């Protein structure tokens, strides 16, 4: 790919593909466009990508990934995002959709993920993509269609001391022991902790309760045999279950 930064546009509308491609045509970028999640996964298997521009609504609404050991089902853009973050953890994602951002957040798009609501201006799209490229500060697109910096927020939830085995699946599969836990993150120990910045799927086997699954978590820090994770995407039912479990420790 000649070392050029690479953008993959995933949208079933040819008009949107053309608009996005034209907005980036003068920036010395390699831009490719596909119309479905299946095509996007095939492309990512063979090509390095820096940024994915992802339509939330993708046809078909549900499909079966081929060649996966556990018959994974991927639904719309959020499902594809999950697959991308676990398998290609360095890729940044910009969501585009005709739905209001608040509705997408409620349906599973994480708070940190930038969203552009259609129709959007070419210059706003252009700036949002450029700020997601390596070496640029992460961008956050407001509901008004403007771009601002995305900064880490201070921890809001108190963490409680919890012990229990965990498994992590991502670039590698490993196991560990939970040290503390909150609604938004945890600390754990592992003989082979994942690297900082990698995305994993986390399963926590907590005492006296069923397994709690975190769809996507990011490793924020790692030292010796310990690491800290921030939860990026949790199924609503699992989040409710996690909150119920943590209430046991609330004074």
What's the chain look like in SS3?
Answer: CCCCCEEEEECCCHHHHHHHHHHCCCCCCEEEEECCHHHHHHHHHHCCCCEEEEECCCCCCEEECCCCCCCCEEEHHHHHHHHHHHHCCCCEEEEEECCCHHHHHHCCCCCCCCEEECCCCHHHHHHHHHCCCCCCCCEEECCCCCEEECCCCCCCCCCEEEEEEEEEECCCEEEEEEEEECCCEEEEECCCCCCCCCEEEEEECCCCCCCEEEEEEEEEEEECCEEEEEEEECCHHHHHHHHHHHHHHCC
Residue 205 lies in a domain: yes
Which of 32-46, 76-90, 179-193 has the lowest average pLDDT?
76-90
- Is 94 a residue whose pLDDT tops 70? yes
More confident residue, 189 or 141: 189
Residue-level pLDDT at 232 = 82
Residue with tokens 């939860």: 231
pLDDT above 90 covers what percent of the chain? Answer: 20
- Is 216 a residue whose pLDDT tops 60? yes
Residue-level pLDDT at 143 = 43
Same domain, 46 and 70: yes
- Is 149 a residue whose pLDDT tops 60? no
Same domain, 87 and 171: no
Range of the domain at 208: 160-249
Domain boundary, last residue among 91, 120, 149: 149
- Is 72 a residue whose pLDDT tops 50? no
Same domain, 172 and 138: no
Domain boundary, last residue among 101, 122, 149: 149
Residue-level pLDDT at 65 = 46
- Is 233 a residue whose pLDDT tops 80? yes
Residue 1 lies in a domain: no
Residue 154 lies in a domain: no
Same domain, 74 and 176: no
Rounded Cα gap, residues 128 and 123, in angstroms = 9
Which of 7-21, 72-86, 94-108 has the lowest average pLDDT?
72-86
- Is 131 a residue whose pLDDT tops 80? yes
Domain boundary, last residue among 149, 173, 198: 149
Residue 155 lies in a domain: no
Same domain, 32 and 102: yes
Same domain, 176 and 137: no
Residue 135 lies in a domain: yes
Same domain, 190 and 120: no
Same domain, 73 and 140: yes
Residue 118 lies in a domain: yes
Residue 2: band (very low, low, confident or very high) from pLDDT cuts 50, 70, 90: low
Residue-level pLDDT at 194 = 86
Same domain, 22 and 140: yes
Query: CB–CB of 180/197 below 8 Å?
Result: no
Residue-level pLDDT at 162 = 87
Same domain, 144 and 37: yes
Residue-level pLDDT at 3 = 66
Residue 97 lies in a domain: yes
Number of domains within the chain? 2
Residue 168: band (very low, low, confident or very high) from pLDDT cuts 50, 70, 90: very high
Same domain, 218 and 127: no
Average pLDDT over residues 132-136: 72
At 170, which CATH number? 2.40.10.220
Residue 137: band (very low, low, confident or very high) from pLDDT cuts 50, 70, 90: very low
Residue 121: band (very low, low, confident or very high) from pLDDT cuts 50, 70, 90: confident
Residue 164 lies in a domain: yes
pLDDT above 70 covers what percent of the chain? Answer: 81
């Amino acid at each position: 790919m000649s070392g050029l930064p690479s953008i993959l546009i995933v949208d079933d509308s040819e008009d949107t593909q053309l608009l996005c491609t034209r907005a980036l045509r003068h920036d010395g970028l390699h831009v490719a466009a596909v119309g479905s999640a299946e095509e996007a996964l095939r492309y990512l298997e063979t090509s390095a990508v820096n940024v994915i521009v992802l339509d939330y609504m993708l046809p078909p609404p549900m499909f079966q990934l081929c060649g996966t050991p556990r018959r994974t089902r991927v639904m719309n853009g959020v499902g594809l995002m999950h697959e991308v973050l676990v398998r290609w953890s360095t890729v940044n994602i910009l969501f585009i959709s005709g739905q209001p951002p608040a509705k997408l957040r409620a349906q599973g798009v994480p708070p940190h993920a930038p969203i552009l609501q259609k129709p959007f201006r070419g210059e706003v799209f252009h700036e949002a993509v450029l700020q997601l490229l390596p070496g640029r500060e992460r961008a956050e697109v407001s509901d008004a269609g403007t771009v601002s910096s995305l900064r880490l927020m201070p921890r809001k939830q108190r963490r409680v001391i919890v012990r229990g085995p965990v498994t992590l699946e991502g670039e590698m599969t490993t196991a560990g022991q939970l040290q503390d836990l909150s609604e938004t993150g945890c600390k754990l120990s592992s003989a082979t902790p994942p690297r900082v910045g990698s995305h994993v799927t986390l399963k926590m086997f907590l005492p006296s309760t069923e397994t709690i699954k975190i769809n996507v978590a990011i490793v924020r820090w790692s030292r010796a045999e310990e690491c800290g994770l921030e939860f990026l995407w949790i199924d609503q039912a699992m989040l409710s279950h996690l909150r119920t479990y943590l209430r046991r420790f609330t004074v």
